[in-house]
Amino acid sequence: MVPLDRPTDEELTRRAQAGESGALGLLLTRHQAPMRAVALSLLGYGPDAEDAVQDAALTALRRIGDVREPAAVGAWLRAIVRNAARMRLRAVREFPGLDGLESAQLGDLVEPAQPERLIEQHALRDWIWDAVEELPQEQQLVLMLRHFSGITSYQEIAEACEVPVGTVRSRLNQARAKMAKVLLSTATGGHDDAAALTEDSRQEAEVTLDGAMRGQLPPEILELWPAETELVGVLNKEGGRLHPFPAMQETRTKGVTQHLRHVVASRDVAIWEMEAVTPAGVPNPCPPALAWLMFRRDGRVQRLRVAFPGTGAGTGTGTGTGARSDGAQQLS
């Protein structure tokens, strides 16, 4: 018999689905031991088991709204951990969350969901993003790549950020630990509209890409790319301070077109994922997938790094982003 002062899993799940952060925190605490037991039984002691549990906790934050049988939330959580562990054992690409789960594992516990619905359509959305934005920018970036983008494996994140895999693991562990504290501390606070931030960033991406293709950025988007913006990473071949506009101009000259695929944004970090098409016969063609990783302050881009997931660090020559380092409107 459940004590009167102890809410059931079903009650906590429904309260969490309504946006009550404390209810979700209590659910995760209540089921932490069986979740760890699943990970340890499949992976043994070590960082992989801990990663599987942490990934499952963040997946629960994003996907609690998809649980159809609230009383069975414990099985749902254990299924997430089990899937994460099995994926590591199979040594395949590490897709976080539920998107890679076999339907037989989940049964009727969750409704089908598209990747773009990961956090946008449930009550905890703004609460999650407020917690993310409490993290240092470098931790924000690896967390956003790992859990909200298509660049999800440790190796791909390491290549995108140009840091060792061990650094990625360390930053993720630090970010996850801080998330748990920050989420509880921001439970009753006000929140920015995370959907609006992402939509604004999507519009900025579309205008930037369109302007770069035409060779001219409209005045309203130039403020996003001030003269002090720096291009860093593999596209800055010479090192030193370089504005992104010359790389954009080179891309335009080669005829490479970039099509926006996915956007995820907080106030300080934005990730634009692209598909790139290079005309036939062009030497050093652009890889077909790339991502713009941006650090921002007061709405302006401070640093831009262009990553080419799946190609390895140091590849991706001959592609990039846009115009002259003096911030002039004309790109050509």
Per-residue model confidence as pLDDT tens digits over 104-125: 233 333 333 343 444 444 556 6
Q: Which residues contact 78 (CB under 8 A, 6 or more apart)?
A: 31, 34, 35, 38
Q: What pLDDT, on a 0 to 100 scale, did the predictor assign at position 12?
A: 87
Segment 113-139 mean pLDDT: 66
Q: Is the model's pLDDT at 48 over the cut of 50?
A: yes
Q: Is the model's pLDDT at 215 over the cut of 60?
A: yes
High-pLDDT (> 70) share of the chain, %: 76
Query: Sorting pLDDT into bands at 50, 70 and 90, what band is 52?
Result: confident
Q: Is the model's pLDDT at 129 over the cut of 60?
A: yes
Q: What is the distance between the alpha carbons of residues 73 and 172, in angstroms, rounded to a whole number? A: 25
Query: Sorting pLDDT into bands at 50, 70 and 90, what band is 272?
Result: very high
Segment 100-104 mean pLDDT: 30
Write out the H or E segment, with its range, that includes residue 263: strand 257-265
3-state secondary structure of 293: strand
Q: What is the distance between the alpha carbons of residues 75 and 240, in angstroms, rounded to a whole number? A: 53
